[in-house]
Structure 1
Amino acid sequence: MMSKVEKLTERLQGIEIRKKSLGLKASVGGIGSTTAVSERRRETTSLEDKSLVYGREKDKEAILQLLLKEDESVSVSVIPIVGMGGIGKTTLARLVYNDERIKGCFDPKLWVCVSDDYDVVRVTKAILEAFTSDANKLETLNMLQKKLNEKLSGKRFLLVLDDAWNDNYADWDVLRRPFMHGAPGSKIILTTRLRNVAKITSTLCPSQLAYTLNELSKDECLSLFAHHALARPNFDAHPHLKEIGEKIVNKCKGLPLAAKTLGGLLRNESQQRVWENISDSKIWDLPEQQSNILPALRLSYHHLPSHLKQCFAYCAIFPKDYAFDKGELILLWMGVGLLPLSTEKKQMEDFGSEYFDDLLSRSFFQQSSAFESRFVMHDLLNDLTLYIAGDICFMLDKLVGDKQIEIPEGARHLSFLRQRFDGLQRFRPTYKRQHL
């Protein structure tokens, strides 16, 4: 009896640790209640970062062309920039916002961080505060929008709405009303992780509703990493660190946030042993007070509805760089009971297709560059699935010599990479696990 109590206590302690690591708070309420997230995205600023930015010149020129293009079909153009967390959307918007070529084209220029705590009144007030300190005296949305309308009326403005999450069209329709009275040629740049936000806000052509920001090339990522680690864009002064530096950058898979963060952790550190420790670490092993990679990616996960959280976590069964088929994944979701039962109007596959498309639009999946009909996850998002799934999903790696693989007791889903000479020995550990 005591052993069962001890096991239960140990399990509850594990749940408590994971609750804290995922930033969850206890919430009082029934079915309609929501789980609060303690972790909030920090405010962004329009002030230019004087440190070098690598690999974004083409992206910058493309956005500048859209900004300077005259479009008589709409009074105010909205240009969404879409990409996964940490890809550099805010950095790109900041580069454009501070470019000399647009300084005489727009007056006023405004920057507002929308963030995940979306509220029409708060965002409207934040925009108005760029003009006047009297915004705090205005309490109702009507008063705020009338005042903002006065300030923008007849002016050719540039507004950056950074980090937008709300994909409710009715909310956007209310927020944008004061903007419609700006002078022709006014522009709004909106950065978001969600393609659905781009759909409801964009004024670009239907074939390209948003500007999709992609990962940096390996060389660009390496230069960015070296800049933050060694205060120079190369390893000329530290040739002994180049090989291990390239291994670290391979972990980043072109994500600027990861290159910048890992470079910052190694700032002015020249001991190869320390670099090797970072190279061998998983993202959740890094000191969180110094690393913002996991919190940035985790924020996207927090914004998922519960049914999508389960479906995304299940993807921990896939190895890195695995190109999966949409239909294949939907069938797997069906097989483990993650999809609603069929109804008169919808089959189970239809629900699965909706779930998949939603995760794709939120940048959790991306089109494979090698196979047009398949999809992949960024390596760091793959790491995130492993972190979230914990012991529930387990990958059976190849045997190293005669070493037995210990499968966690709580493992429910098991996957393996087929080897040329698979033997029974490899699967022997599975017979002890009753929950697979």
Structure 2
Amino acid sequence: MAGSLLFSVAETFIGKLTSRLLEEASLALGVYDDLRRIKDTSSLIKAVLLDAEQKQWQNNELREWLRQIKCVFYDAEDVIDDFECEALRLQVVNTSGSIRRKVRHYFSSSNPLAYRLKMAHQIKDINARLTKVAADRHNFGLQNNYSDTRIVQKRELTHSHIIESDVIGREHDKQIIIDLLLQDGDDKSLSVIPIVGMGGMGKTTLAKSVFNDERLGEAFQKKMWVCVSHDFELKHLLVKILNSASDSSPSENIQNFDTEQLQNNLRNTLADQKFLLVLDDVWNENRVKWEELKDLIQVCAKGSKVLVTTRNHATADMMSTNTSHILEGLSQKDSLSVFVKWAFKEGEDKKHPKLMEVGKDIVQKCGGLPLAIRTLGSSLFLKFDIKEWKFVKDSEIWNLPQKDDGILPAIKLSYDQLPSYLKRCFACFSLFEKSSVLIDVEATAFWDALGFLPTPKQGENSGDIGKQLLHELWSRSFVQYFRDVGGSFLFELHDLVHDLALYVARDDFQRLNFQYENIRENVRHLSVLQNDLLNQISIPIGLRTIIFPDGANSTPFLNNCLSRCKYLRLLKINNSRYKNLPRSIGKLKHLRCLELVSNEELERLPDSVCKLQNLQTLELTDCQKLQKLPNGIGNLIKLQELRITTKQFNFPEELAKLSSLEILEFSSCDNLMFSFEGIQFPKLKFLCFSYCGNLKSLPFHIIPNIETLIIIDCNMVILSMGDNNNQIPNLKLKFLSLVSLPQLVTFPQWFQGCANTLHSLSIENCENLEELPNWLLTFISLKNLIIENCPKLISLPEDVHHLPNLEGLAMKDCPELYRRYQPEVGQDWCKISHIKEVIVELQETED
């Protein structure tokens, strides 16, 4: 596993070597030629990494070579990052304080001559180490491959035969697909219906069951089954379709036909035939290839259908002419039925009630995934020792014996297909708790801090890139329940996908859970799950990530961590019992993400925190006793995300220096009263005030660039700007959420400025809101409108049905709205019935 993430490590490192900042610094230090050689040598190593990764399993020496390379690359990256740290430090020194203070700060922090000698020595050392390991590549007969176009292990080709009794729990899904197939088709276009789901979900089994249903035999003159897999070359597909379309062996060897002969033969075979074509296990995302095939088979009779199975939502969207059918996990009851079928001979489960109790727990860990249930059930067939069953129950599924058709090859196949930049992002999920509901901003903060994000294009920021990567992981069925909650995305991982993350990440990432468990050699990212482990472990000095357990209170461990782990990029100490942090935290000059959420005893932060010029994320939410922000916070010139809970009255003017800030949240800041006068925050996109009881007005001068505005339970805030200045033209707001605001009676006029941009509006628990303005109908981009517990709101604007892009409307616990818009019976139901998703609910009250 030494090379599983190495290609991405190499790409990131080489990318750093091309920066202008590094070029200027290397010239100043006299190491320009050394750095150029490092880049050339790194490129030579990178060229053979993909081949080495595939061959390492048969060669222990090759695996050790990859481990050495990874160590050199990580050490080299630390050295290169040191240049950026020094450059940022000098930037702060040169823009703050008097000349005397600048000089004193500079020479107290760094001796320039000593720094130059140290860095030159480290660069030359890295150059020598890389040169040595690069020379060793010739010992392994490795092939060059300069881009991540690896050949992945393919699954076995499928066929259409099935024993119907093997299909359990898919009756409802089957009926939906059959209904879609039997619908009348369009004369002009071929109807394509995709079944989408993660590997092992049973897409092929469902397609087989549908394909063999008698009703379809009567409806279609010809049925064809083609297993596509990774081969979407036109000629090969034409051969497969023709072979499947033939009722007997072809009279000629069509394998020798050229493409022109094949397409003529196929068009003649399908002409005026009403057919069903199943394309099983499609991975192709190239629309040109699909359109080329579709054009050739559209000679069919009206009503012909193509049924597609794929793991990829992007593939389904490209091919579909209907809504995709998302295949989800089996119910617990059906899962148990599948398990019993594979673990016992018929009726034998009744003889082993104790095994069945353990079996229920085994089924639970499979998360409704049919292939996983079948794999574990089959592994226990004819085994009646309860110890063996408990071993399976308590083991990670990846540590159990695997066959070629087991769950590990099935799911890992999807992982192998990921581009290298997504592999490390996916591996990062191993640090999160299983079954957690995650949010995009936290995942993005982690990826950004660890250097996993690709370089943003012009006009993009790290948040944009993070959302794109998450959407790609969703498209490839790695995350589920992916949903937009306005400006942010929530998502989850199937338990077995989380297990896959643990498996593929195990060299670099570790979750320490048990007493006497050893920290693996060369681990870079560590999460400690139990508080009592803190005083029992020795911390590796090369750590880049450390996540403390809830309830952490070991001061010796904290001090040891801060003194030893000088290359930390991410430090997460949530729900701890520390009252303060040591000044030595200011020495973590590589730190990019500092999370200190829900530390209810934390009273102060040392001012040395403001020496962390690389810091991008600072999380201080729910630190109820925190007296104030540290002095010098304006020195955090790379800070992008700041979330605060504090007792502070007057916030420092230094906040105006945070010109990189994109996310700003004040939570439970009861003393927050000021209006941010003189502060612009030019890059700010997300602004949130929650539970700030004394906040009376909004900072209107910074709102024009905001894309997400959230105001929750700020009882005194007045949203109106006043009569003389009630317009803010050309707002960029995309998401607006107003929750528990008793002062809100009517909508302020200035909201009209976002008529062209707002796509989500959420209004909750605004007990005095009486009306929505008619100008809301000018909101041409509005897609989602949520209104909850607004009892005085009598109706929606009269012409609400004229909102051109409204796709979702939810009205909950609003008695008057429920009466008027109740589905089917409300007097104004007809005005909203056309909307794609409508929810109108009223909670029943007790008598």
Query: Does residue 383 of the first structure (1) align with residue 499 of the second (2)?
Result: yes
Amino acid at match of 1:71: G
Query: Does residue 68 of the first structure (1) align with residue 68 of the second (2)?
Result: no
After superposition, give the CA deviation of every residue in 1:277-325 in whole Å (9 maximum; x if it has no partner): 1112212211123761111111001111111112111111111011110
Matches within 5 A, 1:268-283: 268-283=382-397
* 1:102 to partner: Cα distance: 1.2
Answer whether contact 1:323 1:368 (CA < 8 A) is retained: no
**Match of residue 31, structure 1, among 146, 152, 172:** 146
Query: Does residue 183 of the first structure (1) align with residue 274 of the second (2)?
Result: no
Answer whether contact 1:261 1:293 (CA < 8 A) is retained: yes
Distance 2:539 2:380 in 1: 34
What residue in structure 2 maps to residue 95 of structure 1? 209
* 1:126 to partner: Cα distance: 0.8
* TM-score, normalised via structure 2 length: 0.46
What residue in structure 1 maps to residue 510 of structure 2? 394
Answer whether contact 2:148 2:419 (CA < 8 A) is retained: no
Matches within 5 A, 1:117-266: 117-130=231-244, 131=246, 133=250, 134=252, 136-204=254-322, 208=323, 210-232=324-346, 235-266=349-380
Amino acid at match of 1:172: W
Answer whether contact 1:314 1:385 (CA < 8 A) is retained: yes
Given the superposition, is the C-alpha separation of residues 189 and 340 from structure 1 closer, same or farther in structure 2, using an over 3 Å criterion?
same
Distance 1:160 1:425 in 2: 63
Answer whether contact 1:315 1:385 (CA < 8 A) is retained: yes
Answer whether contact 2:201 2:328 (CA < 8 A) is retained: yes
* 1:340 to partner: Cα distance: 2.6
Given the superposition, is the C-alpha separation of residues 350 and 382 from structure 1 closer, same or farther in structure 2, using an over 3 Å criterion?
same
After superposition, give the CA deviation of every residue in 1:77-111 in whole Å (9 maximum; x if it has no partner): 10000000000100110110111111111121111
- SS of 2:166's equivalent? coil
Distance 2:141 2:369 in 1: 33
Query: Does residue 349 of the first structure (1) align with residue 349 of the second (2)?
Result: no
Answer whether contact 1:135 1:144 (CA < 8 A) is retained: no
* 1:435 to partner: Cα distance: 5.6
Answer whether contact 2:450 2:544 (CA < 8 A) is retained: no
Given the superposition, is the C-alpha separation of residues 10 and 407 from structure 1 closer, same or farther in structure 2, using an over 3 Å criterion?
farther
- SS of 2:305's equivalent? strand
What residue in structure 1 maps to residue 42 of structure 2? none
Amino acid at match of 2:192: V
What residue in structure 2 maps to residue 110 of structure 1? 224
Answer whether contact 1:317 1:413 (CA < 8 A) is retained: no
Distance 1:97 1:258 in 2: 24
Answer whether contact 2:343 2:378 (CA < 8 A) is retained: yes
**Match of residue 418, structure 1, among 524, 527, 550:** 550
Given the superposition, is the C-alpha separation of residues 428 and 230 from structure 1 closer, same or farther in structure 2, using an over 3 Å criterion?
farther
Amino acid at match of 2:320: S
Given the superposition, is the C-alpha separation of residues 331 and 145 from structure 1 closer, same or farther in structure 2, using an over 3 Å criterion?
same
Distance 1:340 1:274 in 2: 45
Query: Does residue 80 of the first structure (1) align with residue 165 of the second (2)?
Result: no
Greater Cα shift, 409-418 or 172-181: 409-418
Answer whether contact 1:109 1:159 (CA < 8 A) is retained: yes
What residue in structure 2 maps to residue 319 of structure 1? 433
* TM-score, normalised via structure 1 length: 0.87
* 1:119 to partner: Cα distance: 1.9
Count of paired positions? 415
Amino acid at match of 2:379: L
What residue in structure 2 maps to residue 12 of structure 1? 64
Distance 2:242 2:275 in 1: 13
Greater Cα shift, 283-292 or 87-96: 283-292
Greater Cα shift, 404-413 or 351-360: 404-413
Answer whether contact 1:128 1:135 (CA < 8 A) is retained: no
Distance 1:73 1:267 in 2: 52
Given the superposition, is the C-alpha separation of residues 411 and 193 from structure 1 closer, same or farther in structure 2, using an over 3 Å criterion?
farther
After superposition, give the CA deviation of every residue in 1:7-53 in whole Å (9 maximum; x if it has no partner): x979717859xxxxxxxx9862352463222x211111100135432
Distance 2:477 2:332 in 1: 20
- SS of 1:190's equivalent? strand
Distance 1:352 1:306 in 2: 15
Q: Which has the higher helix share?
A: 1
- SS of 1:86's equivalent? coil
Distance 1:312 1:272 in 2: 35
Q: Mark the runs of 5 or more structure 1 residues left unpaired by the alignment.
A: 1-7, 17-24
Distance 1:377 1:270 in 2: 33
What residue in structure 1 maps to residue 490 of structure 2? 374
Identity of aligned residues (%): 37
Distance 2:348 2:539 in 1: 42
Given the superposition, is the C-alpha separation of residues 292 and 69 from structure 1 closer, same or farther in structure 2, using an over 3 Å criterion?
same
Q: Which has the larger radius of gyration?
A: 2
What residue in structure 2 maps to residue 404 of structure 1? 536
Given the superposition, is the C-alpha separation of residues 148 and 51 from structure 1 closer, same or farther in structure 2, using an over 3 Å criterion?
same
Amino acid at match of 1:357: H
Greater Cα shift, 132-141 or 77-86: 132-141
Given the superposition, is the C-alpha separation of residues 70 and 429 from structure 1 closer, same or farther in structure 2, using an over 3 Å criterion?
farther
Greater Cα shift, 345-354 or 272-281: 345-354
Amino acid at match of 2:473: L
- SS of 2:298's equivalent? helix
For CA contacts below 8 A with separation 6 or more, give which structure has more relative contact order.
1
Given the superposition, is the C-alpha separation of residues 302 and 177 from structure 1 closer, same or farther in structure 2, using an over 3 Å criterion?
same
Given the superposition, is the C-alpha separation of residues 277 and 14 from structure 1 closer, same or farther in structure 2, using an over 3 Å criterion?
farther
Answer whether contact 2:435 2:495 (CA < 8 A) is retained: yes
Greater Cα shift, 256-265 or 372-381: 372-381
Distance 1:338 1:166 in 2: 26
**Match of residue 56, structure 1, among 166, 170, 174:** 170
Distance 1:366 1:105 in 2: 35
* 1:348 to partner: Cα distance: 2.9
Distance 2:422 2:407 in 1: 21
Answer whether contact 1:227 1:233 (CA < 8 A) is retained: no
Given the superposition, is the C-alpha separation of residues 196 and 343 from structure 1 closer, same or farther in structure 2, using an over 3 Å criterion?
closer
* 1:361 to partner: Cα distance: 1.0
Answer whether contact 1:55 1:216 (CA < 8 A) is retained: yes
Report the aligned-residue RMSD.
2.9
Distance 2:411 2:560 in 1: 33
* 1:403 to partner: Cα distance: 7.7
After superposition, give the CA deviation of every residue in 1:339-393 in whole Å (9 maximum; x if it has no partner): 1333324333222221111111111111179x99521101111111111111312
Answer whether contact 1:129 1:135 (CA < 8 A) is retained: no
After superposition, give the CA deviation of every residue in 1:59-94 in whole Å (9 maximum; x if it has no partner): 000001001111336442100000000001001101
Given the superposition, is the C-alpha separation of residues 258 and 428 from structure 1 closer, same or farther in structure 2, using an over 3 Å criterion?
farther
Greater Cα shift, 142-151 or 163-172: 142-151
